Amino acid sequence: MVDIIITGEAGKLHAVYHKSETPAAPLAVVLSGNPRQKHHMNDRVSYAMFRAFMDIGFSVVRFNYRGVNDSEGSLGTTSENMLDIATVIDWIQNKNEDSDKIWLAGHGLGAWYVLQAMMRRPEVSGFALVSPDASISDYAFLSPRPNRGLLLQGAAESEDAKAFSVHLTQILKKQAQINLETIRVKNADAEYSQPADLRQMYNDLKAYVGRENAEDKLL
């Protein structure tokens, strides 16, 4: 994996990229949590998501939104962060023109960004939501788009957070015809603070993506 700079609307975006040795390997973009809560591309959850895709043969990139650590500009609004996400998706696709599959994975606020980006990018073939931010209630942007995805959540998260995941699953099924497979990681909180919990989240994500990607190859 290498540190790279991607030119964004507000200046340079700092990113880390891994290029698979497999020709036409599927792609993945990892979206970190809320930068106003100190999340960034090198936090433990973002790194674990990145490694899950890397270790099953994807070409994958993670990055800092504008205004975060070494990325230029000021902390962005939702629309500005979505522009950064679009820039990074375009970048990895341009670097891998032979690849026909791309996945998105996000943690916390990044999970909401995953759904936003998926609605705007019909080429997205798979996604994973890791402990989505339960404070967000705006899902009016969803439109029918039959797909499957994974929701990972810590079993020790609050009852409100767990109720929200059930609510989100229902919303996605009703408004967008999207089926979510939910996995709850035993004893984990939303930050997967214990090494064993982080390892289990990594294993569950890797297993799901590997299975879904293998099934796609058979179609």
Would the pLDDT of 200 be above 90? yes
pLDDT digits (tens, 9 = 90+) for 34-65: 999 999 999 999 999 999 999 999 999 999 99
Q: Is 175 helix (H, G, I), strand (E, B) or coil?
A: helix
pLDDT of amino acid 39: 94
**pTM as predicted:** 0.94
Q: How many CB atoms lie within 10 A of CB 45?
A: 26
Q: Quickly count: other Cβ atoms within 10 Å of residue 207's Cβ.
A: 14
Q: What is the pLDDT of residue 219?
A: 38
**pLDDT value of residue 185:** 96
Assess if CATH 2.60.120.10 describes domain 2-214: no
pLDDT at 12: 96
| Buried residues in 100-135 as b, exposed as e (16+ CB within 10 A) | ebbbbbbbbbbbbbbbbbbeebeebbbbbbbbbbbe
- Has residue 215 got a pLDDT over 80? no
Instruction: Read off the pLDDT band of 147 (50, 70, 90).
Output: confident
At residue 5, the 3 state secondary structure works out as: strand
Confidence of residue 136 (pLDDT cuts 50, 70, 90): confident
Q: Using the 8-state DSSP alphabet, how is residue 215 labeled?
A: H
pLDDT in tens, 63-92: 999 999 999 999 989 999 999 999 999 999
**pLDDT score of 217:** 58
By DSSP bridging, strand 27-31 and strand 102-107 are parallel
Kindly provide the b/e burial profile for residues 169-187, where b requires at least 16 CB atoms within 10 angstroms of the residue's own CB: bebbeeebebebeebbbee
The answer to whether 17 touches 67, Cβ cutoff 8 Å, is no
Q: If pLDDT is split at 50, 70 and 90, which confidence band does 119 have?
A: very high
Cβ of 96: how many Cβ atoms within 10 Å?
A: 18
Looking at residues 97-122, what average pLDDT do you find? 94
To which residue do tokens 């341009």 refer? Answer: 94
Confidence (pLDDT) at 145: 86
DSSP string, 58-111: -EEEEEPPTTSTTS-SPPP-HHHHHHHHHHHHHHHHHH-TT---EEEEEETHHH
